[in-house]
Structure 1
Amino acid sequence: MEIYGLILAAGLSSRMGKLKALLPLDGCTVLSRCIRSLVNGGASDIFVVTGHMAEQVGAEAKALGMHEIFNPEYEQGMFTSVKAGLQELPDDAAAFLVLPVDIPLVRSSTIRALTFDYTSESADIIYPCFRGERGHPPLISAKLIPEILAHDGQGGLRTVLERHDSKARELNMPDLGILRDLDTPDDYEQARLISRRRVPLPEECEALWELADTPLQTREHCKTVAEAACLMAKALNKSRNHQNQLDLNVVKCAALMHDVAKLKRNHEAAGAAILAGYGFSGIANIVAAHRDTDIKPESPLTEQEIVFLADKLFQGTNPVSLDQRYGKTLERWKEDSEAVAAITARLARAKDLLQRYEQEAGISVPEQLPLLMARELV
């Protein structure tokens, strides 16, 4: 089943003031970032529709091994580019994805989910959604091509798609990139800041909780742990005097996500699998390891150990000692000698790690952490 990608890159970029398609982003260009998402997401082939400054944009597309389609009517609006692209799609197309070049932050995992969903059960249209809001790129059945080509352009592509809303599906994804476009220089600067992130944005964490049906009380625990972990990481960074600095974004997001799969068996591994599946590889390993610690004495403390400790210092949203936290588990398994031995060993490792942290950071966590958190809330 052939599903093609159609990138619309013919516009004037008037609000940006510079040609969007060739702006640098994530070590490449905006256009190549769009291409990479579609290719890695499973699109069979990519067609780039050019117009304004077609020679430069087309050269970039061809250098990346993609097909160029020139739209001589590009100044008449985006719908003319849609039609120009569809006229050149191969006859074996089962469906196609329409991605404007100024929406380059779509994750390849989102494209992969769309193509897999369509091959599992076809539909006239499948929209990626972020917390209920439709975004790009829609995946459109090839059977709509004649109707799109016959449309007079009033209302653009949306008018045609709205006629098929009863046969459309929505696919919720934790991908804010489906809604983010590059209209202005400010939009572009924001995109540059987040384009390399391999961790979810805070809004995407909320979406992941919703998709995983994470209980509300678990979400509150995760928020508390994230706040504590960030304070602990800041204290450690301060003591390190600009060397081996921890990434606060990684700490925060890993803490927010550490119990995302709390309702599942072996929730640490399940949570890591969810995150890796959605492309959040930057925190999957931390989530997978938050039940226990096996750091070597000679290894420096990392984001993983901070999230582990912060989690163990709270029962729900209430601060507890390590003895209190592990004590409940010991009580539950007191009749099982092997389990008691394993839990006692985990407690000993956690205490050793906490001592290492306190010595390096120069704070006494049980006494000072609740005070620091209270100050942050004021």
Structure 2
Amino acid sequence: MTGIIILAAGASSRMGSAKQNLLYRGQTLLQAAISKALQCDCEIVSVVLGANAAEIVPTLIGLPIKTFFNERWKDGMGSSIAYGVKELLIIHPNLDSVLFLLTDQPFISADHINKLIEHRQQGQIVTSAYNNTLGPPILFDKVYFSELMEIKGSEGAKKLINKYLNKVLPYPFEAGAFDVDTPEDYERLAGKY
């Protein structure tokens, strides 16, 4: 059983507005990520909100997801990872794995997410590989839950990937190299894709 956690708590400081609410192909970036997650073979889809939650929540009404509010979002992505895992395990204590998605990778597909879930093995980290790096979407087996809940600040999950490189299973996702962080990125997304 896999739980999906969409990390959407950031302030989008480089964008200048809540990038979770940017429109692309008739949906917000966050709605699109949720839509793809809901098509996957998972037990539950959850979203961790923080900054701009008041603007974002109205766009999520009626969606079959669980929403968590990380009051410590200013501490960085690590705090949202830890908080999301803790809250998800309260609802679903028997999860075998968690998969993290970001809202700013517009080319994530349900097919790619399902491939990560299908490749899950006990004790492994299944990560996306693009642009000569490893990153999200990324799936962690339950043996990493306690360490995920200890992540702090802006560390993100990279620390665990580097610590357990021999347990990492990379899965190609070249489209993951494009993310939307700045107004220029959004213009390229709107104009080219």
Give the letter for the 1:58 counterpart.
V
TM superposition shift of 1:193: 3.9
Give the letter for the 1:156 counterpart.
G
Q: Which residue of 2 aligns with 1:282?
A: none
TM superposition shift of 1:14: 1.1
Return the alpha-carbon distance in structure 2 between the equivalents of residues 49 and 152 of structure 1: 15
SS in 1 for 2:143: helix
Q: Say whether the 8 Å CA contact 1:69–1:88 is kept in structure 2.
A: yes
Return the alpha-carbon distance in structure 2 between the equivalents of residues 170 and 147 of structure 1: 20
TM superposition shift of 1:178: 1.6
SS in 2 for 1:135: strand
Structure 1 residues 154, 193: CA separation in 2 closer, same or farther (over 3 Å shift)? closer
Q: Deviations over 1:111-135 (max 9, x none)?
A: 11111111xx434201122375423
Structure 1 residues 142, 62: CA separation in 2 closer, same or farther (over 3 Å shift)? farther
Give the letter for the 1:14 counterpart.
S
Give the letter for the 1:183 counterpart.
D
Return the alpha-carbon distance in structure 1 between the equivalents of residues 81 and 180 of structure 2: 19
**Greater RCO (CA < 8 Å, at least 6 residues apart):** 2
Q: Which residue of 2 aligns with 1:184?
A: 182
Q: Say whether the 8 Å CA contact 1:98–1:138 is kept in structure 2.
A: yes
SS in 2 for 1:52: coil
Q: Deviations over 1:178-234 (max 9, x none)?
A: 222111011112223455xxxxxxxxxxxxxxxxxxxxxxxxxxxxxxxxxxxxxxx
Match status 1:45 vs 2:44: yes
Return the alpha-carbon distance in structure 2 between the equivalents of residues 189 and 154 of structure 1: 27
Structure 1 residues not aligned, in runs of 5+: 196-378
Match status 1:12 vs 2:41: no
SS in 1 for 2:119: helix
Q: Say whether the 8 Å CA contact 1:79–1:157 is kept in structure 2.
A: yes
Structure 2 residues not aligned, in runs of 5+: none
SS in 2 for 1:63: coil
Q: Say whether the 8 Å CA contact 1:105–1:191 is kept in structure 2.
A: no
Return the alpha-carbon distance in structure 2 between the equivalents of residues 61 and 166 of structure 1: 38
- The alignment of Structure 1 onto Structure 2 pairs a total of residues equal to 190
Say which structure is richer in strand. 2
TM superposition shift of 1:169: 0.7
Q: Say whether the 8 Å CA contact 1:7–1:100 is kept in structure 2.
A: yes
Return the alpha-carbon distance in structure 2 between the equivalents of residues 97 and 112 of structure 1: 10
Match status 1:80 vs 2:82: no
Return the alpha-carbon distance in structure 2 between the equivalents of residues 152 and 7 of structure 1: 17
Structure 1 residues 26, 140: CA separation in 2 closer, same or farther (over 3 Å shift)? same
Give the letter for the 1:139 counterpart.
L
Return the alpha-carbon distance in structure 1 between the equivalents of residues 132 and 22 of structure 2: 30
SS in 2 for 1:109: helix
